[in-house]
Structure 1
Amino acid sequence: MTRRWYLPHDRTAGTALASGAVLMLIAALVVLLGPLESSYPAMEMDCEREELFVAGGTDVSLRSQRRALIRRWNEGRYPDGRPHPHATPVEVAESTDLQHSQIKAVQESGSCAYDVLIMDNTWTAQFAEAGYLVALEDVAVRDDFFPAALRTGEWEGEQYAIPFNVDVGLLYNREGATTPTAWPGLLGSGVAMQLSGYEGLTVNALEAVWNGGGRGLLTGDGRPSEEELRETVYPALVGMAPYARGALAASRLYGERESIEAFASGTGLMRNWPYVFSALASEPRMRDGGRLRFGVRALPGRTVLGGQNLAVSAHSPNPGAAQDLVEFLSGTGSQRLLFSCGGFAPGRYSALGLAPDRRSPAGVEARACSSLTGEPLEPGEADAPGPAQLAELGRAVVTALTRADPRPVTPHYSTFSSTFRDCVQKIFDRAGLDAHEFAEAVSASLDGRAASC
């Protein structure tokens, strides 16, 4: 019998959600009414606390492993025997866009409500430049982090965030489905993608640009010229448009959940993130006893380097303890648990049995969740996924990391993303958007200027 996992109802989770509700209300007030005055009583009272609050998105890891890691921290002690300060997770929203707006609103207000931030790796430039983050010193074993992932936490020569988990585009295939090895074949296959109007559309469209002749553009620190936007980026998106109106039409309604359901219900192929593997592995429709009815591999061509980073709020009343918690969550032991028990791809080589000088996907090693936690299995139960299946996922992730590029590094990323995907939708809809208008709008958005296609 395959072991299945359910979210337990316990006092820790209840406290987290109750605390989260209060802080989400504060964030909503900030969005609606503007920054809170420093004399706001709740802020003053919070600033005298010793408890740590960890703000991030909804925990979609299998078995709520992010919460489980924070419980481990709460049960632990420092080397000198002192107990760790208690930490409480605050899940502010499920979508990346809402996470950004709510956490940004609280940080912008100067509130000390949050100590540790779980951030999308595109937020570093904006949050660091605005003074929301503490520069991290003496990051433990820096060379053990995947280099490209670690760089997403840098801004102007300082390290402000470190990887919690990495994300790369993976290709999931059901048994019997033909797996394309090139990008055009993938688009024409009816693969389930994430093309509805949120950050997922930005990600999928960037991958289309990079694999459609625009490699190296709209990535990292490089700033494309308007000519490059007109003559290379725009044509790549125009080339994807017939697929968006044809084989990929259903995907225009899909976010991550919808694409997962489409795949589980019979769609042959799906582009999605690593965490989906473990969720599918425990889904009865996707198993035949201990055997999986699907496989996973690196996405053909270039992919977006996504993921979440850990940072310390500049307004935390306990920055030293907050950095201790960041180091705990990003350490090898926590990263192994996050991978084997939670299904999230780790940010360190060591969590996959690799080393900086030994990076071959063939060397990936993985252990079953129960062997890491010591939690006994019931008679007839088995870990899902098991070690061999986790190793398959690890090999796909390491291979994809060699083809992964970051999204544009700019303090104005949210402006860029909303403008870019608005333009992409108009291109898909044949709304009369020409290359010149596209280039002007995207270029302006990279500077933080409001623009529309």
Structure 2
Amino acid sequence: MRTWFPPGWRERLRRGNVVAFGCGALLMVLLLTWQSSLSAGPSQPDRPRPTISPPSVPATPQENCGGNDAELVVATGDDVSTGSVRREVIEEWNGLLKPPGDPRAKLLELSDSTDVRRAQMAALAQAGSCAYDVLVLDVAWVTEFARHGYIQPIDLEGRDDRFLSGPLLAGQIDGEQYGVPFAADAPLEYRRRDGRSGGYLLQLDDNEMGTINFLETIELGGGKVLDGDDRTAIALDLEPDGTWRALKSSRRTLSSTDESAAVLRESLQMDEDASVVAFKEGEAGGQPVSYMRNWPIAFHQLAADPRMRAPDQRLTFDVHAPVTRGGVLGGSVLAVSRHIKPGKLAPAKRLIDRLTSPEVQAKLFACGGYSPVLTEVYERYEGGGGPSCQRQDGSDITNPSLDELAKLAAETRKSIELARPRPKSPYYAQFSELFRRCARGVWENKVSRETFFASVGALEGALSGRVQDDRPLCGKEGT
């Protein structure tokens, strides 16, 4: 069966800017990875954790830091919406709304890989570059960028009560606001309505989405991985039986029911996009698919496909939020580079105000599927009064109806309010890689129960900036 994608997808796929860095930036990324993982020795859970000094950020003279004075560069990931709506919003700002003296905003799409994008942004920030003025940061990376001095605090001027609490707190580090909520994310369960008895798809590929899904597999299943106010305490061994049972379970309990469905092993090769394609086609690796865990933005990707609508245009799938336990909080914030030139600071704040306005947040939701961060927008949709998408580009994309948007808004808000953040550690990336390697090893039958729980000390060390010693913990030899 031929896979359907919305118009313009090939052109957007080619927009990655990884090649723009060249060999110099690649070396910078490697240096950053090496420096941030300096070891303080093997983990000693029963001893006080040492204070880890962040990497130094050079005081590069402003005239030598790079950048274009005529442009306000917004560094972000690939626009995965069905109509490049983020780019439309930036164009509207430049054409009609930008104050005459402000530099034009430029949306610079970096790698579509969250991990690579983080390394790109961090490498330039550590080098003192002002090539990026505003960063669209995944909420998981805010602590790293704040404590390492890559971004600066931003004053919300008493308007913080506009935002949902989870996304707002995700941008707060050590009592200061470093990121303004831009897009919220939390897991939703998608169900096909074709009456077939198929399996459940997760995204367990070897990237950050794999980490998120393994965390959810354990914690939605009744186990425990993280604890503490900042979620930086490792609790794997506090409930070992429940944790192991949840991780090893071959079934997922369905939202709002007591039923369950088999989790397909094909999930180990799935990321967000691949699972959406498999869900549309109703099969993965020859196995029928009836359920999928994904982000809210997948709703628009599905609703825009004619195959996912009946002849009367009703959707052939449904969507539900988790009802008993929360998943992992995702999403992004808008942050201002520590190295932004002084003349661009006020324009950057004006652009951020526009991008977090009710008008823009509703458009990003209705036309692109990006979940809002403003309470007001959810209340409007849940009350039946939110705007639907009015496209001006002549595309043949089928936009969700107002009723469909109202249902999506209600389920998304439920999930966001239940969701829990990832650890607020500047060394979260180290934890993520190690935890995912161990969890994948269990699923691949390469890692024993004993070895998995022996990773507690190494995981604690990773969150404190210490790398494990030379033991093959959770590697092939660790079974």
- 1:194-343 map, 5 Å: 194-214=203-223, 217-218=226-227, 221-224=230-233, 228-232=235-239, 235-243=242-250, 247-266=263-282, 267-289=289-311, 290-300=313-323, 301-317=325-341, 318-343=344-369
1:68 aligned onto 2:83: no
Using the size of structure 1 for normalisation, the TM-score is 0.83
- 1:392-431 map, 5 Å: 392-430=407-445, 431=447
Q: Does the residue aligned with 1:171 lie in a helix, a strand or coil?
A: strand
CA-based RMSD of the aligned residues comes to: 3.4
1:128 aligned onto 2:158: no
Q: Distance in 2 between matches of 1:425 and 1:20?
A: 28
The letter of the residue matching 1:6 is P
Q: Does the residue aligned with 2:236 lie in a helix, a strand or coil?
A: helix
The alignment of Structure 1 onto Structure 2 pairs a total of residues equal to 423
Cα distance, 1:294–1:131 mapped onto 2, change above 3 Å: same
Does the Cα contact within 8 Å between 2:59 and 2:128 map onto a contact in 1?
no
Q: Distance in 2 between matches of 1:21 and 1:321?
A: 29
- Cα offset, 1:254, TM superposition: 0.4
Does the Cα contact within 8 Å between 2:237 and 2:453 map onto a contact in 1?
yes
Bigger shift: 416-425 or 344-353? 344-353
Cα distance, 1:172–1:48 mapped onto 2, change above 3 Å: closer
What do the CA deviations read for 1:168-188 (whole angstroms, capped 9, x no partner)? 100111114589xxxxxxxxx
Aligned to 2:66: 46
Aligned to 1:182: none
Does the Cα contact within 8 Å between 2:90 and 2:107 map onto a contact in 1?
yes
- Cα offset, 1:82, TM superposition: 2.3
Does the Cα contact within 8 Å between 1:220 and 1:406 map onto a contact in 2?
no
Does the Cα contact within 8 Å between 1:194 and 1:252 map onto a contact in 2?
yes
Bigger shift: 199-208 or 429-438? 429-438
1:444 aligned onto 2:461: yes
Q: Does the residue aligned with 1:344 lie in a helix, a strand or coil?
A: coil
Q: Distance in 2 between matches of 1:5 and 1:175?
A: 22
What do the CA deviations read for 1:226-250 (whole angstroms, capped 9, x no partner)? xx32242674244332428974311
Q: Does the residue aligned with 1:122 lie in a helix, a strand or coil?
A: helix
- Cα offset, 1:389, TM superposition: 1.1
The letter of the residue matching 2:348 is A
Aligned to 2:259: none
- Cα offset, 1:155, TM superposition: 0.5
Q: Distance in 1 between matches of 2:61 and 2:225?
A: 49
1:58 aligned onto 2:78: yes
Kindly, what percent of the aligned residue pairs are identical? 32
Does the Cα contact within 8 Å between 1:43 and 1:111 map onto a contact in 2?
no
- Cα offset, 1:39, TM superposition: 12
Q: Distance in 2 between matches of 1:428 and 1:77?
A: 52
Q: Which runs of 5+ in 2 are unaligned?
A: 36-56, 253-261, 283-288, 475-479
Q: Which runs of 5+ in 1 are unaligned?
A: 180-188, 355-360
- Cα offset, 1:19, TM superposition: 7.6
Cα distance, 1:229–1:76 mapped onto 2, change above 3 Å: same
Cα distance, 1:215–1:437 mapped onto 2, change above 3 Å: closer
Does the Cα contact within 8 Å between 1:219 and 1:408 map onto a contact in 2?
no
Q: Distance in 2 between matches of 1:175 and 1:110?
A: 53
Q: Distance in 1 between matches of 2:456 and 2:59?
A: 45
Q: Does the residue aligned with 1:194 lie in a helix, a strand or coil?
A: coil
Q: Distance in 1 between matches of 2:228 and 2:318?
A: 29
Cα distance, 1:43–1:100 mapped onto 2, change above 3 Å: farther
- 1:345-384 map, 5 Å: 345-354=371-380, 362-363=382-383, 365-370=385-390, 375=392, 383-384=398-399
